[in-house]
Structure 1
Amino acid sequence: MQRCLLLLICLTVTACGGGSGSGSGGTVGLSERPANSECLAFDATAEVQLTPIAASLSFNSPLLMLPHPSQPGIFYVVEQGGLIHRLDLNTETRSQLVNLATDYSLSECNECGLLGMAFDPEFGSNGFVYLSFTENTNGMTSFVARFESTDEGQSLRRDGIGNLVRSNLVQQRQPFSNHNGGHIAFGPDNLLFVGLGDGGDANDPGNRAQSLSTRLGKMLRFNPDGTPASNEVSGSVPEIYAYGLRNPWRWSFDRDTGELWAGDVGQRQFEEINRISLGGNYGWRCYEGYERTSNSCGASPSGPFIEPVHAYGRSDGISVTGGYVYRGNNMPALRGAYLFSDFGSGTLWALERQPDDSYQRRTLLETGRNVASFAQDRDGELYLVTFSGLFRIDPVNVDVELPQTLSETGCVQADAPWQPADGLIPYRPIEPFWSDGADKIRYMALPDGTRITLDESGDFQFPRGSVLVKNFTLAQRLIETRLYLHNADGSWSGYSYQWNEAGTDAELVNGGRDVDVGGQIWHYPSAGECTQCHTAAAGFTLGLETAQLNSSFTYPQTGRTANQLDTLAGIGVLSAPPTPAQRSRRLSRSTDDTAAIDARARSYLHSNCSHCHRPGGTTQSSMDLRITTPLNATGVCGEPPSNGNLGRDGARLVAPGDAANSLLHLRMVADDANRMPPISTLQVDTRGAQLVADWINQLPGCN
């Protein structure tokens, strides 16, 4: 144990090299690239794999993919901005069905735009195509409109003056910009189902989901011409099929049984999977998951409410994406299971029915991707629609067992697991992520013969098989080691190992865990929590970018101090040296009192917040907290909140000169579920919060 402590103290001291670190071609910290054939991604817990489809094509915020009603291999990919692609998987080519944004003023917000598409059951004879979207008409309005195709889905018909032939079937004014739902589909009864959220803001302030006089917070059912079907929900407007929903995001019918399964997005505690039936009340805003909320319930305080089939908390994800009951043939072990995911964590799960009619969940794959939707082809095989591409879900052909102890992973010395394996390369970001006051020592491990590429923004793109290793210490005691693996299918997955009291080895943590460590509760994250922070939008790896590593570092192997970018380029780890533009970007340490407060605060927000708060990120907010984004373009300065104000009327995300009314700061110091970051940390970073408050208080304005 003494040897462990001495080593950690030594590494902590030598890892704190100073200097500007902005040189190029100077001293190299390592003599050569270490060989590594042991510390490699083992991709161990996956039961399925993702096979890219149409990999040569790119899509901008795709939200939906659905097959042509009769033509094999033809799919339609719906983009949130209004564009619908007609995709031929046989040739991996595409054409444009329509771009609604050229015809209508579509709403622009994180939960607005083109949200749904469905083909009429008689499409072969009538050519009817149904689209669901939000439009800037008398404020923001949700529409379900019917269009026509006369060429088997290659285009939509226009009239003599070039306007799309459109019949509005559903028109619903939206009071807020979030919780629009928008998914549409025809059921086995050949009737049109429409899912709408509760209208937005926090806690459903109008209790709309429980009110039977509004369509908001409901599952609706119509005849194909838009007239209400015979739903017969007592006391309701006639189109209501079920109610008590917060924001149903993707739902589907079991092609064998006809049952309707839906994912309903939670607020701060639970995400739900519901089986929707006629007349059912699913609880919101009275219940979230299985638990009673603090909200009043108006005329229906006691229901009766239908409990979800399954609910999960924030350790597993932040925004459920409903999927399908699998009825294909390629994965027999999953037949009859309901597959679903989470937009934030990207975890792919299966819900399986047990002999006692309960459901048990198991993890199939940590995809590390923002899963926006599932798709089902004519044969019942399933696909994922993500912000980083389209994928088919296939069976895994290999079975590898996850090492249960750190000493077995190949990433440490087997007989002294507190020491890194010889093939690891240490590194240190300028501005580290807050981890409840823990000190961290970091390493990267690349398969022999591979290299890192740098994208335009300077993010590191690691080869498959790479592993990132991070040791956490509290009071110089080693408590956790995390491994982050770039798997063979291109996904990333994270695992935590908890060190024993003797400091001799660490055991794999299955799921999240809270442990008292010297009087402080330390949280070991689940694999799903890892992917919530390591977002696809941020390039998966955090802290590994040129702006973070453009600094000096003292390498324990040689005792030499050198610029980290120079060293990585010098030993052949980078496929090409950083460009002058990449070298010109460098973060500041938030604790460096000699640096400008703007640079320090923006560096802190970049490191701790921007992995989620950026374009394509996993939040419902449109904030962009990357340091390269000018303040007036971040979407925070002077902006009102879109999802709750913490009880402070008139508060802004950032109110220049007034941190006390700036939600960016107030969420950092909140002592409840409103606190940011929302996962994997239990301690407020008081120093970081004070820095952000000081920065806001001295801001003269938003320019």
Structure 2
Amino acid sequence: MFSSKLFLSALSAAFLSLLFCGVNLRAERPAWTESRLQGTPEPPLPLKVQRVHPNLVVRSPITAMDLPGTNRRLLLQVSGQVSTFENRDDVETMELALDINATNLKVNPDEKFAAARDLTLHPDFENNGYLYVVWSIRPHDVEGGTRISRFRMNMPGDDGVVENDLDSVPTIDPESRLDLLSYPSGDHIGASLNFGPDGLLYITTGDGSLPFPPDVNKAAQNIGDLRGSVLRIDVNETSQAADGTTLPYRIPEDNPFVDVAGARGEIYAFGLRNGFRAAFDPATEDLWVADVGWEKCEMVHRIVPGGNHGWSLYEGPHPVDLEQTPGPGPVILPEVVFPRSESQSITGGVFVPLNASVVRQDASLVGEYLCGCYMNGNVWSIDTQSKTQTGKPPVPRKIASTGLKIIDFFVSQSGAAAEILLVDYSGGLYRLIENESVDDYASFPQRLSETGLFSDTKDLIPNPGVVAYEPAATMFRDGIRTVRFVGIPGQEPIHPMRKRYTPGTVFANTLIRDVLDSDGNPKTIRLETQVLSFDGLNWNPTTFAWNEEQTDATLVPAMGATQTFRVADPIWGPRDWEHRFYPRDVCITCHNVANPGAASLVPENLRDEAGPGSWNELAHAGFLVSAKSKPGFEMVDPSDEDQPLEQRARSYLHSNCAHCHRPAGGATSKMDLRHNRPLDQTALRDVPAAQGDFGLGADTCVVLPGHPERSALVYRVATGGPGKMPRVGCTTVDLAGAAMLWDWVESQPASGETQAAELSATDDNQTVRAMRLWRALAGKAPDEAKQTVGEMLSGDDAPESPVLLGLLQPWIDPSQRKLMVGDSPDADALLTLKGDAQRGLQWFYESAASQCRQCHRIGGLGKDVGPSLAGISKRRTRAEVLRGIIDPSAKIEPEWQSHTLLTVDGDLVAGRILREDDDVVVLQQADGTQTTLAAEDVEVKKPNEQSLMPAGLLSAMTPQEVADLLEFLMQTNEAGELPVGD
């Protein structure tokens, strides 16, 4: 084969010297014209989006709607500006009707405006002109800082009554402001407004807290506090408050808590974290609210009058704070739960009317509830009636991938057919339309050689318009190195810092590693090439696995795959190592709308000085815009001990962690680990470790300066057990990287008030002692470290805690590690372990290793590729369930039998037959997608002896996790719920 170092250096020198040839001026580079990366590798989603009013410049819109009785639309921006514009596609300007910020400054000059959140119109708007706005001021926790205010819209020449004058430009009288209701300002203020079928105003409120700590005021379970609730008031009448003052609204007598001592009568339901966008089901008049989750899931609730919807006792099904005083009533689980891998910030939507234009393409959408994700731009439809019909929770169906920051939906009835429109916080309105590109996937490249990236795939010779680049710092990948390319159509340079990319831009990252051949001789091979392509809205990930001959690579299925190689482990010598080709959904969790393109491509990571591969040279060659690196923030190779320790540590954190740990990056902590942030702005030092202390102590910080043994960040990188970071990309512990971070934290001056006596008081903490032992072992020769750990594990006081064993994992023989079940589970031994149902629930919903929900439904989550797991104890014993997971092919129920079909064209298609008649055969494949074949095209149909469910699903679990999962499965009822008290 070839040497990896020689390969990398030769590649860089050859291509970059050919590219630049000493020329130091902006070149007319060749455009990349060979790309064949169009469409998707799977059948496309049924709908897509189309920009409306493309010439209209809009900044941070929050909501929009048609203005009744006019030919105009109304739009609210986060800045507090309410504007209207003509409802025609070529409109270019908006007319300001009201600036809430400017109006409030005149009255309250000391108040600092924060944001407007929602606006709705009175049901009788055409006669009274009333509109209602939610807005807030800073700082957090200002009493009355979030307001629901009523304004009145005027038409020119009219005394406050809206007329049906299609040419009038409306205005809003700032003097008409009437503050109806208020609650404390905060981060999560919810703030969605809907008039119900009963004519009453429904208001969702958030808990008001920052993400950490969760629900700091314990407001969501307190029915004496308006926060974390759904409120219901009558805005058409006034009433008397208990103190004798006049309220500008009336509390309906049938509100659930009007007669409860200490309760706020306005509350209709409670236990929400941040109810963001709500809609009434016209078929049932039920209120559906999308609730933004904390760290594990996003939720959609069907609101129950007087109902306790869980937060912050629970986040969906996950326990959060069970020690607080709960509100009245049992906890009601969400109707739908999205794991964080699918949605990171839910936005509620609308119900699809019968006359909607999209219904012509997909009649099943009629009456369904649409919701979306602010972070990844996906849109789902939910059949809200399915539970009534089947007894099972509804399952979301992804219908569009938009690439937008979806902040709201609305239905427009202004045309012959209703349109579903999306509000994009990045600035624009879009309609959902049919996706005509239904056949694109058929031509999607199945091999790397077909993508157009390389003129010679075997030697990775790029086509014109594709260039190699080599960052100084890259993420740790179990000893893997990378070769990176970017291909850009056209001749305009890309601007990564401002997220400006030419549609069709592609990043290709080839992973290479030293392995052992069948004779035990070292060789270097390419494992996979990861491709990230930009279609103008979305970044679409695909992976190609290299063949044994190293001449080409083949497209990996969407669900990913694994392959085992023989490697020379630096501690244990020759051993088998499993490489995981990650599912595409895992890629999207990092490469989302807030973090597009390649995180490694920043000026500081390519060097600013002239030379092959520098930012300047790539800019001169026409690939990148010219940019200067930020002085003092240059990135370096973290393993280069000649570089300053601070730069090494910050470069390491950027390349391994910052793709998630940045604003809107998808991580749940408030850390910002980008290299160009001053250290005091990273939320690292002296910040409480809100995600768990792992036994380090109640006052554990993310980084405790001078004390790496008590720093959660160092623990997470050092462990191979609970809390291991990063969660994807590597399976082994980066000993050198973790030791470097240890030394960096230790080098920092101790915090001002930290007393040595206080620290020494926790010296008996076994996790702290294990951390110190870990650092000592990391500095020893492998044989010496292995001997030390071996003696510990063979002694009478051998550690059993997964936390302690996780820190010792690098020096435990891989074949003897008890942390994981491995590929040959002992079913009898696993069945003897006592499980905890709540821990099993948490593993099922949260763990990145949990694959159950990819195919099975339970508690409103999952897919129908396999049978529902809810209430499985009525159908299977505990032993049968476990053995069914270990060996899924041993017994396959006829309903779930898969078949392989051979078509007349010679194609093989495997899956479960959902429908078969004289015309078509419909199969559901292992990843949940469906394929329809004409019956006359099927030549052979053969039942498969292998289950669609793969074996080895328990290999990455600890025995205790398996026991906990079993206990969870055996205790859940048909609705996927655990008994009260569990």
Partner residue in 2 for 1:48 = 47
**Superposed, which structure 2 residues align to 1:73-152 within 5 Å?**
73-79=72-78, 81-90=79-88, 91-102=91-102, 103=104, 113-136=115-138, 139=142, 141-151=145-155
| CA distance in structure 2 between the partners assigned to 1:590 and 1:132 by the alignment | 48
What amino acid maps onto 2:683 in structure 1?
Answer: V
Normalising by the residue count of structure 1, what TM-score does the alignment of the two structures yield? 0.79
1:362 alignment partner in structure 2 = 397
Match status 1:170 vs 2:181: yes
**Aligned partner of 2:80: which letter?**
G
Q: 1:346 corresponds to which residue?
A: 377
Between the aligned partners of 2:309 and 2:565, the Cα distance in structure 1 is 40
Match of 2:349 in 1: 323
Task: Give yes or no for contact 2:279–2:289 (8 Å, CA) kept in 1.
Answer: yes
Q: Alpha carbon RMSD of aligned pairs, Å?
A: 4.5
8 Å Cα contact 2:528-2:553 kept in structure 1: no
| Secondary structure, counterpart of 1:158 in structure 2 | strand
TM-score (norm 2): 0.59
1:566–1:700 distance in 2 versus 1, CA, 3 Å: same
Match of 1:557 in 2: none
Provide the rounded CA distance (Å) in 2 between the counterparts of 1:156 and 1:462. Answer: 40
Are residues 594 and 412 of structure 1, via their aligned partners in 2, closer, same or farther at CA, if it must alter by over 3 Å? same
SS in 2 for 1:599: helix
**Corresponding position of 1:306:** 332
Query: Are residue 184 (structure 1) and residue 224 (structure 2) matched?
Result: no
Q: CA deviation at 1:413?
A: 7.1
Deviations 1:394-453 (A, max 9, x none): 222222116484357525779967956645432222222444653222222333xx0242
Say if 1:425 and 1:445, in contact at 8 Å, map to a contact too: yes
Deviation at 1:49, TM superposition (A): 2.5
Deviation at 1:311, TM superposition (A): 1.4
For 1:493, give the aligned amino acid.
N
Map residues 337-486 of structure 1 onto 2, 5 A cutoff: 337-352=368-383, 356=390, 358=392, 359-378=394-413, 380-390=418-428, 391-399=430-438, 400-401=440-441, 403=444, 405-407=446-448, 409-411=450-452, 419=460, 422=463, 424-435=466-477, 437-447=479-489, 450-455=490-495, 461-475=500-514, 476=524, 478-486=526-534
Pairing partner for 2:220 from 183, 200, 209 = 209
Aligned pairs for 1:525-544 (under 5 A) are: 525-544=582-601
* Structure 1 residue 517 displacement after superposition: 7.0
How much does 1:593 deviate? 2.7
State the SS of the aligned residue for 1:40.
coil
Structure 2 residue runs of 5 or longer lacking an equivalent are 156-161, 163-168, 236-247, 515-523, 567-575, 752-982
Deviation readout 1:112-152 (Å, 9 max, x if unpaired): 63222222222223232222223348736332222333345
Identity of counterpart residues, as a percentage? 23
Change (3 A) 1:438 1:606: same
* Higher RCO, 1 vs 2 (CA within 8 Å, ≥6 residues apart): 1
CA contact (8 A) 1:346 1:368 kept: yes
Judge conservation of contact 2:270–2:309 (CA < 8 Å) in 1.
Answer: yes
Assess, with a 3 A threshold, how the Cα gap between structure 1 residues 387 and 654 changes in structure 2: closer, same or farther.
Answer: farther
Q: Secondary structure at the match of 1:603?
A: helix
- Following superposition, the deviation at residue 305 of structure 1 comes to 3.8
Q: 1:454 to 1:330 in 2, by over 3 A?
A: same
Are the aligned partners of 1:82 and 1:106 in contact in 2 as well (CA < 8 Å)?
Answer: no
Structure 1 residue 76: Cα displacement? 0.9
Contact 2:345 2:373 survives alignment (8 Å): yes
Contact 1:551 1:564 in 2 (8 A): yes
For 2:273, the equivalent position in structure 1 comes to 246
State the partner residue of 1:493.
540
1:64 aligns with 2:112: no
Q: Which amino acid aligns with 2:149?
A: A
For residues 450 and 10 of structure 2, the distance between their equivalents in structure 1, rounded to whole angstroms, comes to 26
Amino acid at match of 1:385: V
Change (3 A) 1:625 1:113: farther
User: What's the CA shift for 1:658?
Assistant: 5.7
Contact 1:116 1:182 in 2 (8 A): yes
Deviation at 1:184, TM superposition (A): 1.8
Distance 1:197 1:537, change over 3 A: same
- Code of the residue aligned with 1:356 in structure 2: it is T
Residue 250 of structure 2 corresponds to: 227
Write the distance in 2 (CA, Å) between the matches of 1:229 and 1:667: 52
Alignment check: 8 A CA contact 1:368 1:540 kept:
no
- Residue 194 of structure 1 corresponds to 203
CA-CA distance at 1:293 after TM superposition: 5.4
Cα distance in structure 1, aligned partners of 2:352 and 2:86:
23
Query: C-alpha distance in 2, partners of 1:16/1:549?
Result: 13
For structure 1, which runs of at least 5 residues remain unmatched after alignment? 160-164, 554-560
CA–CA distance in 2 between the matches of 1:661 and 1:181? 36
SS in 2 for 1:388: coil
Which is worse superposed, 661-670 or 54-63? 661-670
Structure 1 range deviating more: 511-520 or 121-130 = 511-520
CA 1:608 to 1:180, structure 2 compared with 1: closer, same or farther past 3 Å? farther
> Deviation per CA, 1:365-409, whole angstroms, max 9, x where unpaired?
443443333333235423333342223322222221164843575
Distance 1:693 1:386 in 2: 43
Distance 2:404 2:741 in 1: 30
Cα 1:384–1:33 shift into 2, 3 Å: same
Amino acid of the structure 2 residue aligned with 1:156: I
Q: Would you say the 8 A contact 2:492–2:622 is kept in 1?
A: no
Inter-partner Cα distance in structure 1 for 2:601 and 2:173: 50
Greater helix share, structure number: 2
- Which has more strand, going by share of residues? 1
Distance 1:171 1:294, change over 3 A: closer
Aligned AA (1:322): G
Contact preservation (8 Å) 1:466, 1:485: yes
On the 8 A contact 1:129/1:149 being kept in 2, the answer is yes
Shift in CA distance, 465/171, structure 1 to aligned 2, threshold 3 Å: same
Aligned residues: 669
- Residues 1:6 and 2:2 aligned together: yes
| Structure ID, larger Rg | 2
- Distance (Å, rounded) in 2 between the aligned partners of 1:98 and 1:611: 39
Structure 1 659/362 Cα, relative in aligned 2: closer, same or farther at 3 Å? same
- For 1:279, the equivalent position in structure 2 comes to 306
SS in 1 for 2:349: strand
Q: Would the alpha carbon gap of residues 372 and 442 (structure 1) be closer, same or farther in structure 2, given more than 3 Å must change?
A: same
- Asked if structure 1 preserves the Cα contact closer than 8 Å seen for 2:298 and 2:339, the reply is yes
Q: Partner amino acid for 1:361?
A: P
Task: Give the Cα separation in 2 of the matches to 1:537 and 1:438.
Answer: 27
Amino acid at match of 2:637: R
Give the 3 Å change call, closer, same or farther, for CA 419–617 of structure 1 in structure 2: closer
* Distance 1:299-1:547 versus aligned 2 partners, 3 A rule: closer
Whether 1:260 and 2:297 are equivalent positions in the alignment is: no
Q: 1:697: Cα distance to partner?
A: 4.9
Are 1:37 and 2:34 counterparts? Answer: yes
Counterparts of 2:98 and 2:716 in 1: how far apart (Å)?
A: 42
Q: Displacement, 1:498? A: 5.1
Q: 3-state DSSP class of the match of 1:101?
A: helix
> In structure 2, which of residues 643, 663, 678 is the aligned counterpart of residue 595 of structure 1?
643
